[in-house]
Structure 1
């Protein structure tokens, strides 16, 4: 059966009867988990299995934001605490190797409980004076360094059978406010954006998935955030950056966006988004988003299938205990 171009969250650590029926009826392409969904490893494993069972697809993508630092949905006591992305640039010549190893370890943690997509790497280049929503999540302060470490993170995830989602395309590093709470407006010139913000995404345009930025770029489209801008998606993301992978929205429930939830989804698809993301598990909001979401077909289906086809590409052999020891030693030495 055809999936809907939609990724949804759920309310708790188990599915209610209402959620089960809703997901079975709507048939989202995938799901996303947050801290509210995370219990013991066995509980997470049972939840991911239940989610897939509702839509009858064993390969259904289940996403999580597992960057390390402030953005880590799975952590102690059941999983290690990983460093923020900005920590790696302090490792001198070992930065890329340790970023790759850290991501490989996270991929192990995720795949063990049935999670096969991580919303990382963060490819935003921070601008001095910008809001700290990116802050130490940024791998470095230059486009080339961000791209180099971001590539290592993506490779580490894919080596463990987990798909990376680069974010927040075409760049969130200049935002003066947190898009969870308001709409950032960036007035930088197209030349400045192309030289700095777009660079890491252009370098990693071969990755399978990307998440859009809820940011207005006034010199490209003064009226609409990138997520809902046909100009940004066609001319910048698909054009100047050259990304032909699966493009998903950032969370449609964030306060950067306004208006009814059905209209938010419809505007994103009209702009050229492939898949809508709604995270908070609110039943009424999910229902409205689903009403504004089409079937996954055409180029969006092609891109979704191409992404899933890379799930086990290049999976490596792995000595977990040795890797954990090497990773801990490198971080301790840098500290």
Structure 2
């Protein structure tokens, strides 16, 4: 079985000849979309159908969480709230009905998951990188209101409800950013954040949602953060974090995505700057099943070609071995049932009820 670990982006609203060539390569298993790939629903559906005609097993992904991280916002797409709004709803007190806020928040989280997943799937998108499991420690600008709450118990319950809504829409989920990005202030898009807590402190707090959601999460994305008391390498490049702790100690069996390997936090390892190919090899070698390289299609896309060629050469030279288990995890993320078309979705009772339950 061919392992297709690369997840790449495209520059425009339709596939070019170069896009088709890259996405047809046997090492490419996914396409990640951004706001620049969106004009309207008809265009998005045509783009996704074109990609699927090229490769039926291609996993079409997007970062679509709600709040400020929502790639498609017009032409009928529901504006979903940031996850912090669900955590705030949980805390709303009702003296006449204690616990009413928590119950409403759980229903709203399930509704968010269903609306999010159903609308994306109606346009041909297979998978969204959500939910954020980071705790809201208050100091992280890059996480901020993307987090449900500070309390890991609240985060785990609301994430479970969101995942249930996604599942009802026929979509998997991706917990991120393992083992937790919310404690550090630095943004891994531009810097290398460092979290100096001990392993026991991290797992007793930020890591708890991953333990409690064992069996619920279908994928996990590690943080581009260094936890020096555990490993000198960032979590996404660390066999200790990904194999010993995530898979061994926490028992996770789903797919592991690298975070975007174009980010500054992904380009330094053991004090050295890495090429995209070297970063990908390091991530796959550490235990990632899939490697994302984003925003490199702009211009001539040479970086994408270099990565594809570099990984192919590494395979020939024996510096990287394809993993059948990793490929099976990738394929398991593809939807199992046909999506409901948009017009039918708009009048579906479950969808209409979910809209009513949104905060």
Do both share a fold (TM > 0.5)?
yes
CA distance in structure 1 between the partners assigned to 2:177 and 2:336 by the alignment: 21
- The structural deviation recorded for 1:23 is 2.0
1:136 matches 2:145: yes
Q: Structure 1: which 5+ runs fail to align?
A: none
Which residue number corresponds to residue 84 of structure 1? 82
RMSD: 2.3
Indicate if the aligned counterparts of 1:4 and 1:295 stay in contact, CA closer than 8 A: no
Match of 1:73 among 55, 71, 74: 71
Match of 2:311 among 280, 292, 297: 292
Indicate if the aligned counterparts of 1:264 and 1:289 stay in contact, CA closer than 8 A: no
1:33 matches 2:33: yes
Indicate if the aligned counterparts of 2:22 and 2:28 stay in contact, CA closer than 8 A: no
CA distance in structure 1 between the partners assigned to 2:61 and 2:107 by the alignment: 24
Indicate if the aligned counterparts of 1:233 and 1:272 stay in contact, CA closer than 8 A: yes
Once the two structures are superposed, what CA deviation does each residue of 1:19-75 show, in whole Å capped at 9, x if it has no partner? 212222355111111101011111101111222233x32x42111111100100011
CA distance in structure 2 between the partners assigned to 1:269 and 1:70 by the alignment: 30
- The structural deviation recorded for 1:212 is 1.5
Which residue number corresponds to residue 265 of structure 2? 256
Larger radius of gyration, structure 1 or 2? 2
SS at match of 1:197: coil
1:279 matches 2:294: yes
Which residue number corresponds to residue 211 of structure 1? 221
Q: Structure 2: which 5+ runs fail to align?
A: 90-100, 268-273, 313-319
- The structural deviation recorded for 1:233 is 1.1
CA distance in structure 1 between the partners assigned to 2:212 and 2:174 by the alignment: 14
CA distance in structure 2 between the partners assigned to 1:238 and 1:83 by the alignment: 32
Which residue number corresponds to residue 50 of structure 1? 50
CA distance in structure 1 between the partners assigned to 2:8 and 2:120 by the alignment: 18
Listed as ranges, the matches of 1:135-174 within 5 Å are 135-174=144-183
Indicate if the aligned counterparts of 2:107 and 2:357 stay in contact, CA closer than 8 A: no
| 1:151–1:320 CA distance, 2 compared to 1 (3 A) | farther
Once the two structures are superposed, what CA deviation does each residue of 1:243-271 show, in whole Å capped at 9, x if it has no partner? 11110101111111222111110111121
CA distance in structure 2 between the partners assigned to 1:312 and 1:139 by the alignment: 30
Once the two structures are superposed, what CA deviation does each residue of 1:133-175 show, in whole Å capped at 9, x if it has no partner? 1111111111110000001111101110112111111211112
CA distance in structure 2 between the partners assigned to 1:27 and 1:51 by the alignment: 15
Give the stretch that moved more between structures: 242-251 or 288-297.
288-297
CA distance in structure 1 between the partners assigned to 2:355 and 2:172 by the alignment: 24
CA distance in structure 2 between the partners assigned to 1:153 and 1:331 by the alignment: 12
Give the stretch that moved more between structures: 14-23 or 32-41.
14-23
